[in-house]
Amino acid sequence: MQPIVDHLAEYLDDQGQVSLRDGRTLVDHVEANTHDAPAELAYRFMDYSAARDGVAEELTWGQFGIRIRAVAARLQQVTKPGDRVAILAPQGLDYVISFFAAIHAGNIAVPLFDPDEPGHLDRLESVLADCTPAAILTATNSAAGVRQLFRALPAKERPRIIAVDGIPDEVGATWVKPESDLEAIAYLQYTSGSTRTPAGVKITHRAVLTNALQMAFGIGLDLESRGVTWLPLFHDMGLLTVILPAFGGRYITIMSPRAFVQRPGRWIRELAAASDGANTFAAAPNFAFEHAAARGLPKEGETLDLSNVIGLINGSEPVTTSSIRKFNEAFGPYGLPDTAIKPSYGMAEATLFVSTTGPDAEPVVIYVDRDALNQGRIERLTEDHPSAVPQVACGYVARSQWATIVESETGTELADEEVGEIWLHGENMGTGYWNRPQETVETFQNKLTQRIPAGSHANGTPEDAHWMRTGDYGVYIDGQLFITGRVKDLIIVDGRNHYPQDVEYSVQEASKAIRPGFAAAFAVPLNQMPAGVFEHSGSGLVHDRDDSSEQLVVVAERAPGAGKADPGPIADAVRAAVSARHGVTVRDVLMVPAGSIPRTSSGKIARRACKAAYIEGTLRGGYTQQAFPDSPNE
């Protein structure tokens, strides 16, 4: 078996850093595959919409090349280089074709989603207004919904709407390969936008190719590796997974998020060893591991071999020790290696990948003092200490990428074991936000004013390097990067800091009536709290329209079977647990049905959107989040 790192050694310079010396773009790499390995399977979509066990739809590299050239040629007839082309198609092979075709046409791809997907219309309309696409790529069965989006616009301002499955292969004969330019924008990756209008990160060919290489090196992929993804293809983690085959390895199997949520065992089965003997990898947010452990086990008598799983990137939201433990306990008996789960860190502004646990390493968990952590210090404790809070390492920063821990206000680098904001630098970084020059400067063009004298994590970067502010708090411990929370999500009550995920863990452990992984903790000004809170004796509050002091609120979804449980005892248990562990009073515990808490496109808790819905009162009115429908087993 030839390691992919040997296959890609030409992309490393003498110092072992990623170097794209040949100048080849994503288009060049895909074209090489279509010509050099036309019979090899490239992409496979498992369609579970009509069959319980799914129907496989497949494309070889040769077939893929024919399709993307046909669609790209059609785009070149109606657009000019640099025009934005939005992908508004269902999850599937047409989506992958559309994404690569837009880039093959010399356009800027904008991966979005099918307008028929519920719960996303406002976000879709704001993104389309921001990127002003010249054309829309969709599928025939979605075209009517796409046209409806633009009906209010004058005819001359409407983008050209193209159903990719209706374009004949022969159209590809007129395709003209765009000039190879690593600095050209390949696509816009829009952020989740849970509390603001989504921003489009400008991802160049250099950035995406660098990040794909960083991910390959980071998790130890080889030429026999095979990927599986159910993540939305408009999300950065799902998108990079389908870009990876451009560098080699075997095919990627795709399924829809709905298929995974309804039956997580489908994902597990695709990860399992197949007749090709390939090693498999995948990426998913933390909640997916809990969900799969609870509902993805094989039936009695069903065989399952997971010994070939080499890397399951666990990222996109804080990694919990419980998710790792439950997943390993569930699937360890089926051969899952203890090293399979890879706690990782990434973000759209870095294309995706920032750090991960080493290929042969198990996840690292340490326990630290809660109060010290809230004050920006690391004090290690034993696991059984009453003040101990677990911290899961997100591994080592990828090669050719730098992450520093910074005191945000001064731009001063902090020493190891001091908590600060994470700043990033590397050729995988986006070049800024589309149409947002001021926000681009504030986020992507920061300077370190002072580096620590010994052991600086900025070593190897120019003194005047630009750094990207992540908005995440983090800390280095024993060389590994730990993520402690979001700067904007930090809860400050009575002058004390609290990380929401720490509080949320205490909440879910307080009562079996609370659905694990589905609680949101945030602070609300007293004068913005709903009137019903002041009528409840448990809150201990009196309304004062001039009092804007922050009060802790918890919204939690009911666990299966707890739909009719009395909320009073549950709230009392939550208040007692949070008070004992965190020294703060929960002023309102709102129990809501499953599916109520807003989540981002990757499925993580959208705390600020939840806070807004709480203040507006829509959560009490039976709001249902549609991004990841949680349907029961059929």
Collapsed DSSP state (helix, strand, coil) of residue 455: coil
Q: Which residues pair with 163 in a beta bridge?
A: 138
| CATH tag, 366-486 | 2.30.38.10
Rg (CA), the chain: 24
| CA angle in degrees (0–180, nearest 5) for 41-45-48 | 150
Residue 619 CA to residue 614 CA, distance in Å, equals 6
Tell me: pLDDT of 331 over 70: yes
Instruction: Give the model's pLDDT for residue 498.
Output: 85
**What is the pLDDT averaged over residues 131-144?**
94
Collapsed DSSP state (helix, strand, coil) of residue 74: helix
**What is the pLDDT averaged over residues 452-460?**
95
CATH 3.40.50.12780 domain residues, the chain: 4-12+25-262
CATH 3.30.300.30 domain residues, the chain: 491-621
> Who contacts 363 (Cβ-Cβ below 8 Å, separation ≥6)?
319, 324, 341, 342, 343, 357, 392, 393
Which of 79-88, 504-513, 580-589 is predicted with the least confidence, judged by mean pLDDT?
580-589
Pick the CATH number of 4-12+25-262 from 3.40.50.12780, 3.30.9.10, 3.40.50.460, 1.10.10.10: 3.40.50.12780
CATH 2.30.38.10 domain residues, the chain: 366-486
Helices 26-36 and 205-219 sit at what angle, rounded to 10 degrees?
60
pLDDT band at 497 (very low <50, low <70, confident <90, very high): confident
Q: Which residues pair with 443 in a beta bridge?
A: none
Residue 50 CA to residue 72 CA, distance in Å, equals 30
What DSSP string runs through 602-620? TS-B-HHHHHHHHHHTTGG
Instruction: Give the model's pLDDT for residue 630.
Output: 33
For the chain, percent of residues with pLDDT exceeding 90: 59
Beta strands 353-356 and 341-346: pairing type? antiparallel
Tell me: pLDDT of 195 over 70: no
Closest CA to 181 of 299, 65, 346, 20: 20
Tell me: pLDDT of 194 over 50: no
Token duo for residue 601: 């496109």
Residue 145 CA to residue 205 CA, distance in Å, equals 31
Neighbours of 501 (CB within 10 A): 23
Instruction: Give the model's pLDDT for residue 62.
Output: 97
Residue 69 CA to residue 102 CA, distance in Å, equals 10
Instruction: Give the model's pLDDT for residue 317.
Output: 67
pLDDT band at 185 (very low <50, low <70, confident <90, very high): very high
**What is the pLDDT averaged over residues 232-256?**
91
pLDDT band at 1 (very low <50, low <70, confident <90, very high): very low
CA distances from 247 to 31, 222, 237, 250, 342 (A): 11, 10, 17, 10, 21
> Who contacts 315 (Cβ-Cβ below 8 Å, separation ≥6)?
237, 283, 285, 286, 343, 344, 345, 346, 356, 394
Collapsed DSSP state (helix, strand, coil) of residue 360: coil
Higher per-residue pLDDT: 415 or 154: 415
Helices 93-104 and 236-243 sit at what angle, rounded to 10 degrees?
80
Token duo for residue 542: 């009196």
Instruction: Give the model's pLDDT for residue 631.
Output: 28
pLDDT in tens, 313-326: 998 667 778 889 99
pLDDT band at 277 (very low <50, low <70, confident <90, very high): confident
Tell me: pLDDT of 121 over 80: no
Closest CA to 278 of 255, 254, 246, 311: 311
Buried b (16+ CB within 10 A) or exposed e, 302-316: eebebebbbbbbbbb
Token duo for residue 71: 């669609």
Closest CA to 191 of 236, 128, 126, 256: 236
Token duo for residue 308: 């070939």
CA distances from 550 to 587, 590, 614 (A): 10, 17, 14
Burial class (CB in 10 A: 0-12, 13-18, 19+), 615: middle
pLDDT band at 290 (very low <50, low <70, confident <90, very high): confident
What DSSP string runs through 363-409? PPEEEEEHHHHHTTB--B--TTSTTEEEEEB--EEPTTEEEEEEETT
Tell me: pLDDT of 30 over 60: yes
| CA angle in degrees (0–180, nearest 5) for 283-288-290 | 130
For the chain, percent of residues with pLDDT exceeding 70: 92
Contact yes or no for 255/248 (Cβ under 8 A): no
Which of 374-378, 409-413, 425-429 is predicted with the least confidence, judged by mean pLDDT?
374-378
Class of domain 491-621: alpha beta
**What is the pLDDT averaged over residues 94-117?**
94
The distance between the two most distant Cα atoms of the chain, rounded to a whole number of Å, is: 74
Higher per-residue pLDDT: 426 or 274: 426
Tell me: pLDDT of 548 over 70: no
Q: What is the mean pLDDT of the chain?
A: 89
> Who contacts 157 (Cβ-Cβ below 8 Å, separation ≥6)?
none
| Phi, psi dihedrals of residue 175, rounded to the nearest 5° | -65, 135
Instruction: Give the model's pLDDT for residue 135.
Output: 97
Collapsed DSSP state (helix, strand, coil) of residue 196: coil
**What is the pLDDT averaged over residues 147-151?**
88
